[in-house]
Amino acid sequence: MDGDPASIPGPSVLCVGHVNWDVTLIVDRLPAPDGEVKIRRRHQAGGGSAANVAAVLAGLDLDASLFGSVGADESGALAGRELSSAGVRTHLVEADGETAVKYLIVDADGEVMVLSNEGANEAFTAEDLPSGALTADTDHLHVTNQPPAVAAALAERAREVGATVSVAPGRQFAERDFTEALSLADLVFCNRREAAALLDEDADGATSYGALRADATLVVTHGGDGSEAHDRAAGRTYTHDGFDADVVDTTGAGDAFAAGFLAARLGGTGPERALAVANACGAIAAGEVGARVEITRDRIESVLDAADDGGTV
């Protein structure tokens, strides 16, 4: 049934990108230079954009798998076990050195400051992917922030086996050249800042989509102000205002959004309703501490129902 999250079937999705271990510190406010604040709460869990998306997809009963890399340490083992327990099939390269650990400092408004080590979350190549992980049985490939050459090589392999492709370049979009991967994508996720780096508007107000395919869909998130989907094949733009939410921690909200949109679209839901499902997932994620939040069909329906009643998530 179109638009009903509970009816979303379970296509096969391979996610590729970062696998991290997150340490979240909750504070009243972010410290000023030479300042000091007290830690109100400490939380540890898995993170990394690709891993976050895969975990949400698995929670929505999709066949989710993950390709990435970790270090040969306790953090890597913890990340792998947590993903397996979430129902994600993992293809993790174990590299020398430490697993990427992110230290996230979150203030009372849910705003996030991130500190990270170098980590081993990009210690993989396209050749490291097992031969049986991306086949004609794979419905979709979702690639997130990683070396652009790896993203492009895997996107090309996905198109060769008939899988659709989505790209979420992430924070380093302006610093990395994802042109080739973007040219192979059916669907691209970005926020307002990333969209500004991608789109050009001429003197007559016409928008250029850069490397994007003529039939690609560009989905732009606006934080608490909702989202929009530019369906270039249909020549239409869909918008959704988002949901009123009590924000606790915005870490992973964008990943939850992407997973919700993918689950809905792969299940046959139209773009407009998919935005509503995606925004519901983002609101749920923003209402709890950490990037790895349990998102189920029932929780999505509750958010949609509450919005219909004028309630707050």
* Angle at the Cα of 282 from the Cα atoms of 274 and 106, rounded to 5 degrees: 165
Structure tokens at 145: 């922030």
Check if the beta carbon of residue 170 is closer than 8 Å to that of residue 182. Answer: no
Measured CA to CA, the distance from residue 227 to residue 253 in angstroms comes to 13
The chain-wide mean pLDDT, for the chain, equals: 89
Q: How many CB atoms lie within 10 A of CB 172?
A: 12
Measured CA to CA, the distance from residue 309 to residue 313 in angstroms comes to 11
Percent residues over pLDDT 70 in the chain: 92
Q: How confident is the model at residue 201 (pLDDT cuts 50, 70, 90)?
A: low
pLDDT digits (tens, 9 = 90+) for 270-304: 999 999 999 999 999 999 998 899 999 999 999 99
Compute the radius of gyration of the chain from its Cα atoms. 19
Structure tokens at 18: 């970062």
> Closest by alpha carbon to 13, among 53, 69, 49?
53
Across 209-234, average pLDDT: 90
The dihedrals phi and psi of 2, each to the nearest 5 degrees, come to -60, 130
pLDDT of residue 300: 96
Measured CA to CA, the distance from residue 307 to residue 301 in angstroms comes to 10
Check if the beta carbon of residue 178 is closer than 8 Å to that of residue 165. Answer: no
Across 147-165, average pLDDT: 97
Fold topology of 15-308: UDP-N-acetylmuramoyl-L-alanine:D-glutamate ligase (3.40.1190)
Among residues 255, 298, 305, 308, the one annotated as catalytic is 255
Question: Between the CA of residue 4 and those of 1, 41, 115, 300, 302, what are the distances in Å?
Answer: 6, 36, 39, 9, 12
**pTM summary value:** 0.90
Is 2 annotated as catalytic? no
pLDDT of residue 117: 87
